[in-house]
Amino acid sequence: MALEIATFGGGCFWCTEAVFQQIRGIKSVEPGYSGGQVDDPSYDQICEGSTGHAEVVRLIFDNAAVSYKALVEIFFAIHDPTTLNRQGSDVGTQYRSVIFCQSEEQKICAAAVMADVATKWEKPIVTAIEMAPMFYPAEDYHHNYFKMNSQQRYCTLVVAPKVAKARQFFSGSLSSR
């Protein structure tokens, strides 16, 4: 077993956290901010949209149990990679589609999956693939947000359908936890 890090920005991190928490082989999912120019940003600053940071999740996974390629495939399946700085009604650079890589190998793998995914979309894919910059963990109340706030409106309307879709598409990869 070797632990590896993967970082994805696919819109609101309440969604991406809840999805990746379902997947076998992922040891931890941490929501946070990355890719901007402000040190230790707060959620309020992120919401203003001028920090340059994206909402991301940083995963620690066992690459003997789940491959990086499989995680990139899940990432592309659970968000819309064709809408620039936007996921549904969430608009702003904090919602951009981005893969922050730890190594040249991850970059090559992410680019290969993206090229494959591109054949399935009519519109061009706008996902950025970059080397991972500094990661800032989000405030505690964003951790396990969907689990803790499943009745909140955004959770029932936006997060729950994404989790359900992921459970359906990736039923073979679900964690038993």
- What interhelical angle do 13-20 and 68-77 show, nearest 10? 130
Q: Is 155 a catalytic residue?
A: no
Looking at 4, 5, 6, 13, which residue binds ligand MHO (CB under 6 A)?
13
Which CB, 91 or 108, lies closer to ligand MHO? 91
90 counts as binding ligand MHO under rule CB under 6 A:
yes
**Eight-class DSSP state of 85:** T
* Among the listed residues 4, 17, 30, 55, the single contact to ligand MHO using CB under 6 A: 55
Q: Which of residues 5 and 142 has its CB atom nearest to ligand MHO in the complex?
A: 142
Of the pair 88, 133, the CB lying nearest ligand MHO is at 88
- For 133, other C-beta atoms within 10 Å of its C-beta total 14
Check 12, 15, 101, 109 and give the catalytic one.
12
Does position 50 interact with ligand MHO (CB under 6 A)? The reply is no
Q: How far is CA 98 from the centre of its chain?
A: 8
Q: Is 73 exposed, middle or buried (0-12, 13-18, 19+ CB in 10 A)?
A: middle
Q: At what angle do helices 13-20 and 160-169 cross, to 10 degrees?
A: 30
Residue of 103, 92, 26, 99 lying closest to 56 (CA atoms): 99
Closest among 31, 124, 115, 106 to 68, alpha carbons compared? 106
Q: Which residue, 13 or 68, is less far from ligand MHO as judged by CB?
A: 13
Minimum distance from CB of 86 to ligand MHO (Å)? 11
Q: Total binding residues for ligand MHO by CB under 6 A?
A: 6
Q: Which of 14, 61, 146, 170 binds ligand MHO (CB under 6 A)?
A: 14
Looking at residues 125 to 154 of the shown chain, list those that interact with ligand MHO (rule: CB under 6 A).
154
Please state the closest distance from residue 154 (CB atom) to ligand MHO, in A: 5
Whether residue 82 contacts residue 120, with contact meaning beta carbons closer than 8 Å, is answered with no
Q: Which residues are catalytic?
A: 12
Residues forming contacts to ligand MHO in the complex (CB under 6 A) are 12-14, 55, 90, 154
